[in-house]
Amino acid sequence: MKIRKKGLLAITLVLSIVLVTACSGKNNESSGSTVPASSPGAESTKAAEASQSAAAKENDPLGKYDTPIEITTARGMTGSMKFPAGDTIDNNVWSREYLDALGIKVKNAWTADESAFDQKMNVSIASGNIPDLAPVKAVQLKQLVDANMLEDLTDVWNKYASPLTKEIFTTEGKITLDSATFNGKLMAIPAVVGAFDASTLLWVRSDWLKKLNLPEPKTIADVVKIADAFTNQDPDGNGKKDTIGLELQKELFERNSGYAGIDGFMFGYHAYPRFWLKDASGNLVNGSIQPEVKAALLKLQEMYKAGLIDKEFGSKDTNKAAEAQASGKNGLNYGHMWNPLFPFNAGRDNDPKAEWTAYPIVSVDDQPARPGVTQSINDFTVVKKGYAHPEAAIKMLNLWVKISNDESLETSQKYGVTPDGIEVFKFAVLRAGFTNGNLKMHLAVTDALKTKDTSKLTIKQKETYDKVTKYLSGAGTTAEWSMERIYGETGSFRAMNEYATKNLDIYNEFYGTPTKTMAAKQATLDKMEYEVFTKIIMGDPIDNFDKFVSDWKKIGGDEITKEVNEWYKNK
């Protein structure tokens, strides 16, 4: 099964404990005064108390409606969704909790298979009949805003979002909420993507490094040297020249597939294709057309010509590229922190001696290599214009935040993953979590490994610690090995922590919804870029890059650049 960015959901996120307390109204009477119950003043006091109590309840982030309200939504169904006996997408632990805790009855206006969901939502938008609460993509959000079909959530967010909810949505600054803000108005609840977890890493077969007596990679020159050795020095010891130096796949960018792309190599040349970056004048420029990209493509071309890159990468999707790794033929690639879960686990099953180690990406010169991270948010939840209770969406989100931060085993198994492995958390309509949970997991687990003190670990951290120690004791399976390779002392988050402590990540400066010309031309530009870059790596003249830059500008790039800078100045 192919795992993309959403495959990060397979990794447990750690959330800290929080208590969300209800506000309570108090009558502000003069000290020492008493009013007989039968007096007119007593009646006024009672009325004031009732009014104040009602107001406090109304403003409560988790206040329950006295008379239940109904809210309609739409749900995407996936093959991985399984239900406890008797439950359905219409009646489950989360739908019952919304009603019991908040007085909100969730009704699914319609459901659709995940593959057809966007198309069905497009039909709903075109007909002007979306559910009260609708999950949409960035392009759909822009359409709905332009059509004046959405409620402005600015005031209800400020009034009803709990302190912890607000903290989650500002962990990475203003980026998350800004992505759903139009002309100063919050028009949707954006997904919290956790951009940091998508930072690119350099993965190396460290057992091959040791066997061939090679140093750990510190520069691009080291990467080339390792790729050459893995290609020509028979690292698997079978007497044949059948191993791959640097594995790539036809989608070209690992940000799309999570594995075997050119992003990390590009970043080592300080090149950032498909990123918007600030130039010396403070304007935004597109990274795909900068001279650093040309230099990186030239080096990749040299490596391909020398046989150091998989000759067949242009026809291999991610799964096909992963097959080479699973068969023990690949030992070097750029990927993400979760690659021990896919595809390294398959190679480990076939060869228990295979050892993969993640390193920070390396530079071509004396300047540090800085991984590019895109905060592009593509998933939003909107409220239909005219819906009487827009605050209900915020309350439902607050409820998720409250419950998911309860570290008790009982709560985790009731609302998260049941003891028999059913992922009931998927039934929640709105979800959000802290974006630094995986790094916190690594730091907590490694500290416990050093001190042997597990008393400070949360339940989820202790579960991971147990898996890591089980592997280290020699009793673990591939599953425990994967956890150790991610969260252990020399796991992928060791490199990720280096990025964090040195503040190395570079963020894409554009994170708004697609501009008008983007919506019309970006797919064409991306296709052209992919084709030109692939052909250059495989041997086309490097000067074709200059023609690509010229064509990119003419076909729509200059207009997009203008629109992006207008957004940047007004955001």
Cα separation, 179 vs 374, in Å, equals 12
DSSP secondary structure of 252-300: --HHHHSBS-SHHHHHHTT--TT-EEE-TTS-EEEGGGSHHHHHHHHHH
Q: Comparing C-alpha atoms, which of 356, 347, 339, 337 is closest to residue 498? A: 337
71 and 145 belong to one structural domain: yes
Asked if the bond preceding 340 is cis, omega within 30° of 0, the reply is no
Residue 190 host element (H or E): strand 189-190
Residue 134 domain flag: yes
Residue 51 domain flag: no
Residue 21 domain flag: no
Q: How many C-beta atoms surround the C-beta of residue 384 within 10 A?
A: 19
328 and 236 belong to one structural domain: yes
63 and 171 belong to one structural domain: yes
170 and 204 belong to one structural domain: no
3-state SS assignment for residue 251: coil
Domains in the chain, number? 3
Q: Comparing C-alpha atoms, which of 317, 306, 360, 308 is closest to residue 335? A: 360
Residue 33 domain flag: no
Cα separation, 4 vs 342, in Å, equals 10
Look at residues 461, 478, 502 and tell me which one is the last residue of a structural domain. Answer: 502
Residue 529 domain flag: yes
pLDDT score recorded for residue 46 = 53
305 and 349 belong to one structural domain: yes
pLDDT score recorded for residue 49 = 52
263 and 117 belong to one structural domain: no
Residue 30 domain flag: no
Q: Give 3-state DSSP helix, strand, coil % of the chain, rounded to 5.
A: 45, 10, 40
- Summary count for the chain: helices (H), strands (E): 23, 14
Residue 25 domain flag: no
340 and 393 belong to one structural domain: no
DSSP secondary structure of 78-116: -TT----TT--SSSSHHHHHIIIII-EEEEEEEEEEHHH
129 and 272 belong to one structural domain: no
418 and 444 belong to one structural domain: no
208 and 294 belong to one structural domain: yes
357 and 391 belong to one structural domain: no
Q: pTM of the prediction?
A: 0.76
Asked if the bond preceding 61 is cis, omega within 30° of 0, the reply is no
Look at residues 403, 427, 451 and tell me which one is the last residue of a structural domain. Answer: 427
Domain of 524: which CATH number? 3.40.190.10
φ and ψ at residue 87, rounded to 5 degrees: -90, 155
pLDDT score recorded for residue 512 = 77
Which residues of the chain are under the pLDDT cut of 50? 1-40, 42, 44-45, 51, 54-55
Residue type for position 184: G
Beta bridge partners of 244: 330
What is the domain extent for residue 417? 59-192+376-427
Look at residues 427, 445, 463 and tell me which one is the last residue of a structural domain. Answer: 427
φ and ψ at residue 13, rounded to 5 degrees: -95, 140
Query: Residues for the chain: how many in total?
Result: 571
81 and 214 belong to one structural domain: no
Residue 3 domain flag: no
Residue type for position 304: Y
User: For residue 106, what are its two tokens?
Assistant: 């969730």
